Structures are given as structure tokens and as C-alpha cells.
A = this chain, B = another copy of it.
């Protein structure tokens, strides 16, 4: 008998039919002998809808009030799933973040979990019930409702699985697992049966949409076995596990395409200590999510700095650079860029991977504009129009379609 925390995302509980499917699935798991704890997100586009009405009503949107507003979505989904389970003859009870023992800091909109004391959840399990926990929420030391941020339900599920010493945390979503690349781009993309935490973190860092990075970090820290799988086909998905010896053979595991970022280039930055630091400090203070940063070789006391950031932050980022980079600098913003990344733990000890990547792109007549690497990842910025071709070419070159 295993204890499993199952998290259902917004699309998995989007309407009455989907909620009943979740209830049927839980009933099947119980018949198989598993103990199940659920974590649910808000239904479908509910969170977007709550943000829309907040925008209609208010310009200021204080964090404390936004958190009360937004968390209503998960509570609603939670209550409805509990009702559907009741109809399916599965004894169950809903729990808000506070009731489930999620104590957080007071950082509204993006609260961090301080401690999980799931006393009531344990009691419910011991009484043979399925507890259903509202995702992405908790209570602050001031006894105010807090929201863990968009995608916080994944983190709720992982933290709860850790606190309950669960055997696994299953993240149910609208994809059936983690793929060698985006199946919409490459038709022979292959679902991987396992992937390491490090690899998945690198993949999410460069644009792989699921699961949410923060939850993978928490899972890795506490060694919570994650299973990313589909709430539509219910087939086995991808297990996220610690790196294991058998993985050494696979050099490259996945190709991740991403067109969500723009490139900002600052030309002629004085090559003096503190100038670049001041610029990136200002960008951080303004909340710009700077990702790749590349600095070219310094020539005549001046250097060029390029970085990427989300499309909708590029304009503000460019303005900040203009005011902080010094008088003689030029700032260019380019929204027609894309990024393609190779990820794989085996790359650490295989220096030939970068060379093969560059050769493959050259053979496909694709120009590389920026390069950045980590121990288990290489990313190239190219024209956005070239991203799909680059992805297909790399997927072929590294034989990712065959296990």
C-alpha cells in the first residue's frame, strides 16, 4: 500500500466532466490499495478571470487583498472535487492551505512555505479518507491568507508529499510526461520514462513549460520522487529521480525550443568595475527577469553586453539600460530571437557535444547569435524563425527519437 500525493492542474479540473474523471481515477487508485491525498489548482482559466476583475476594479491591487481574491479559485475547485468524490463513494474532505497546516512568510503574491504541519491531513488519512488540499496557499504569521504564486500548486503537492513522507508525488497535467523535445515541433519526439532532477531543472530553466521549476527544486532538496503524467490519458508518464548510474550512457537527453524571450544588447559599455553591476542591479530592482547574459571581449576599454528577458519586459529593460549604462552606449532590443538548448547530465564529461551542436546548426544554415552553457546544458540564441528547424536538426543529430 503506497501513500501518493496527486496534484491536479487547472486543465485537469476545468469543468464538471473533468472533475468527475478525477474522482473516478482516485476511486480506481483506492481500489488498487493506494492511500491518496489530492492537491488541486483553480479550475481552467479561473485565476486569469479573477485577475481580470481585479484589473477592472483596482489599479493598486494590494498584495494582501489580491491573495484573498486569488485563493478563492483553489478553494472552489477543492470543494467541488470533494463533492465529486463523495458522489463516487470515496470518503473525502477538503482542506484550505491554512487547515492543511501550510505556514508561510508574509510575502503576499509570492509567499514562501516556512513549515508544513499536516496534522488534520494525517488524521483524515488515518480515518480512511482522501484529503483534498487547496493548492498554492497558506497562512502568514499575522493569520492572513497568502498565495504561493502562479503554479504554486505543484510546490504545495511536493511540500505536502515531503511532510507526509509519501511514497510519490504525481503531478497530473495536460501533457503525458517529459519529452525529448516539444512534440508540436518534432513529430518523433519521445516521452522519457525517467529524467534526473538536474536535467529537468535545466529544461524548465530554458523554457520547458511543465512542471513548475520551484516544485522540482523542492522535490530535489527533499528527495521526493516525482511523476509527471497526464490527467487526460492516465497513462504512465515520466519519473523524475536522482541521477543514477544508467544515465551515464545518454549524453544528450532533450532539445528545448523557446521563443518567449527577447534580446537586449548594450553596445559600448565602459569596461570599468561597477558599470555592469549597476545596470543589472537596476534591472533586478525593477523586477526584470534577466536570463542568459553574454559579455563580449573588451575592445578599447569598452564592451558589449547582451541578455535575454521575457518579451513583455524587454521595453522596460531597454529603458533601464539606457539610463544606467553611461552616455555613449547604444541599446538595441530584438524581439525576433529564439533559443534552442541541449540538456543532458552526460554532457559534463563529453566536451564534443558543443562542437556537434554548432556543426549541426551550421549545416542547417542557422546562424548562432549568443551562446551560454552550464554543466549539463548548452543554449544558442538564433533567429526565432529558425527555432523549429534547429530543434528538428538537433533532435535528429543526437538520435533522441530512439531510446
Query: Is A60 engaged at the interface, CB distance under 8 Å to the other chain?
Result: yes
Given A57-B20, A60-B87, does the pair A94, B80 have CB atoms closer than 8 Å? no
Give bound CA distance, A16 to B94, whole Å: 31
Given A72-B75, A76-B50, does the pair A86, B65 have CB atoms closer than 8 Å? yes
Q: Are B68 and A78 in contact (CB under 8 A)?
A: yes
The bracket for how many chain A residues form the interface is 35 or more
Interface residues of A in 66-94 (CB under 8 A from B): 66, 68-69, 71-73, 75-76, 78-80, 82-84, 86-87, 93-94
List, in ascending order, chain B residues with CB within 8 A of A84's CB: 57-58
Instruction: State the oligomeric state as a number of copies.
Output: 2
Give bound CA distance, A73 to B72, whole Å: 8
Rounded to whole Å, the gap between the CB of A131 and the closest CB of chain B is 12
List, in ascending order, chain B residues with CB within 8 A of A69's CB: 75-76, 79-80, 83
Q: Are A94 and B72 in contact (CB under 8 A)?
A: no
Give bound CA distance, A84 to B61, whole Å: 8
Q: Are B57 and A94 in contact (CB under 8 A)?
A: no
List, in ascending order, chain B residues with CB within 8 A of A61's CB: 83, 86
Give bound CA distance, A170 to B144, whole Å: 27
Rounded to whole Å, the gap between the CB of A81 and the closest CB of chain B is 8
Query: Is A218 engaged at the interface, CB distance under 8 Å to the other chain?
Result: no
Q: Are B79 and A68 in contact (CB under 8 A)?
A: yes
Query: Is A59 engaged at the interface, CB distance under 8 Å to the other chain?
Result: yes
Given A94-B64, A143-B99, A145-B96, does the pair A58, B83 have CB atoms closer than 8 Å? yes
Per-residue B-contact encoding for A278-319, CB less than 8 Å = 1, 0 else:
000000000000000000000000000000000000000000
Query: Is A19 engaged at the interface, CB distance under 8 Å to the other chain?
Result: yes
Q: Are B96 and A80 in contact (CB under 8 A)?
A: no
Given A16-B56, A53-B16, A68-B94, does the pair A62, B75 have CB atoms closer than 8 Å? no
Query: Is A354 engaged at the interface, CB distance under 8 Å to the other chain?
Result: no
Per-residue B-contact encoding for A180-213, CB less than 8 Å = 1, 0 else:
0000000000000000000000000000000000
Rounded to whole Å, the gap between the CB of A183 and the closest CB of chain B is 32
List, in ascending order, chain B residues with CB within 8 A of A60's CB: 83, 86-87
Per-residue B-contact encoding for A370-384, CB less than 8 Å = 1, 0 else:
000000000000000
A-B contact pairs, 18 of them (CB 8 A): A53-B80, A54-B79, A54-B80, A58-B84, A58-B87, A62-B82, A62-B86, A64-B82, A64-B94, A65-B83, A68-B75, A68-B76, A68-B94, A68-B96, A72-B72, A96-B145, A99-B143, A99-B144
List 5 other contacts, CB 8 Å, given A58-B83, A65-B82: A15-B56, A19-B57, A57-B80, A68-B96, A72-B73
